[in-house]
Every structure is written in C-alpha cells, then in structure tokens.
Amino acid sequence: MKVNIEIDCTPEEARHFFGLPDLRPMQDAVLAKMQEQMLEGVAAVSPEALLKAWMPLAPPEQMRDAMATMFRMFNPMGSGPSPKGSGQG
C-alpha cells in the first residue's frame, strides 16, 4: 500500500508546525556583520590607506609627489620623452 500526502505550506509555516526556531534574526545579524567587515576591507585597500601603510613616516605632500612621479613613469602618453621622439631616425 502506498499513500502520498501533499502539504502546501510556506517554509515559515513548516518550521512553526515542526517546532523549529526562527533563525531570521540571527541570519540578519550575521549578514549585517559580514557586510560591515566587507566594507571595512574595501576601505583598507583604498589608495590613501595603502599609501599610509606603505609610507607611514613620509609627509602627505611627499607621498603625493612620489605617486604622481610613479604614475608619469608608467603612463605611455605622459610628459616624459618618448622613444619615437628621441631624434634618432
């Protein structure tokens, strides 16, 4: 003999029927904490935070000038001399 019983209810109703606890407040708290930690992690890798971590004793003006110089070195359209315009050719 085979008997099939089909029950149509929401997950919340099933939890209540079986006496299981509602974990939504705990899940919300965990997700809020995870979001807070992720936002702190993003703030830790901001350019300003990285510069402060790498060069803690340098004055801000010196750090800004050093970064500007570094970016000019790696920028192919920068104000430095180009290999084509070196006068050889």
The pLDDT assigned to 89 comes to 42
- At 15-27, the pLDDT tens digits run 999 999 988 999 9
Whether the per-residue pLDDT at 1 is higher than 80: the answer is yes
CA distances from 3 to 6, 58, 62 (A): 10, 78, 80
Exposed / middle / buried, residue 9 (Cβ in 10 Å: 0-12, 13-18, 19+): exposed
CA 41 to CA 77: how far, in whole Å? 33
DSSP 81: P
Q: Regarding predicted confidence, which is higher, 51 or 9?
A: 9
> Distance between CA atoms of 58 and 42, rounded to whole angstroms?
23
- pLDDT tens by residue, 42-87: 877 777 777 777 777 777 777 778 878 888 888 776 555 555 544 4
Q: What is the pLDDT of residue 84?
A: 56
The pTM score is 0.43
Give the residue extent of every domain in the chain. Answer: 11-44, 47-75
